[in-house]
Amino acid sequence: MPGSTNLRECKVLERMVKMHAEKGELYGAICAAPAVTLAHWGMLKGLKATCYPSFMEKFTAEVIPVNSRVVVDRNVVTSQGPGTAIEFALALVEQLYDKEKMEEVAGPLYVRPQHGAEYTIEELNSVEWKCSGTPQVLVPVANGSEEIEALNLIDVLRRAGANVTVASVEDTLQIVTRRHKFNLIADMMLDEAAKMEFDLIVMPGGLSGAQKFASTNKLVDLLKKQAGSGKPYGAICASPAHVLEPHGLLREEGDGISTHGAPAYRPEPM
């Protein structure tokens, strides 16, 4: 909400978007911004639009509100909020390019084929994880970590109320992500985080990031300590194969632990 209000009050941005719209170009907004910003500027008149559910009543009378995750009407794309951000971005890709390009970007590993389809989550060798108080979570990051995996882990866990510590395994707090070279600033260095206790340690993927994790002895020691204490740890994409498996963290008393990672990185069965 504060961000949408600040956007609304920016006169330079308002002029830019209106000039853009007058040329028939594509524009859009998500969460509170369709109602708080675009509708306030008079840029949704006579159009169907959606926004974050609790802001629907803030649409002006000229807007046709639609309770949908993403709405495309003429050259305007609107969406409901954080949980629909990927669908919103893919809708923009489809409008800018075509459906084929959208499906290429989405891919089988990026989003479920359909919203509402069941998650393919399988729990094996079930154990009860207990956490007293606010969960303390460590998310290590490295140059080459996959940005969407790191940011989603951090964002969702913090929204759930967990105290998430983002720790750099590099020589600086700033790391450069894998695909789009985003600059991500960690909360602290791993050396500092290693002095703390965590209820969960979870690693994003990205091949070069995973390889850095695997060669960082202090992180491997933390993971082994976590496993030895019976506390949960996890990884996604390349990290199960490149970090957990080589360091024996997918084995228990000689038996293999079932795991799932990006297909290209799945290790051979032990």
Residue 140's nearest CA partner among 80, 57, 200 is 200
- CB 139, CB 209: distance < 8 Å: no
Output the CA torsion 138→140→145→148 (10° steps).
20
Q: What is the DSSP letter of 150?
A: H
- The CA-to-CA distance between both ends of the chain, in Å, stands at 50
Instruction: Name the nearest CA neighbour of 247 among 209, 217, 204, 268.
Output: 217
> Which of 10, 51, 131, 237 is flagged as catalytic?
237
Q: Tell me the C-alpha distance between 51 and 58, whole Å.
A: 10
- Clarify whether 237 is annotated catalytic: yes
- Which residue has tokens 């707090």? 173
CA 19 from centre of chain: 32
Task: Write out the catalytic residue numbers.
Answer: 237
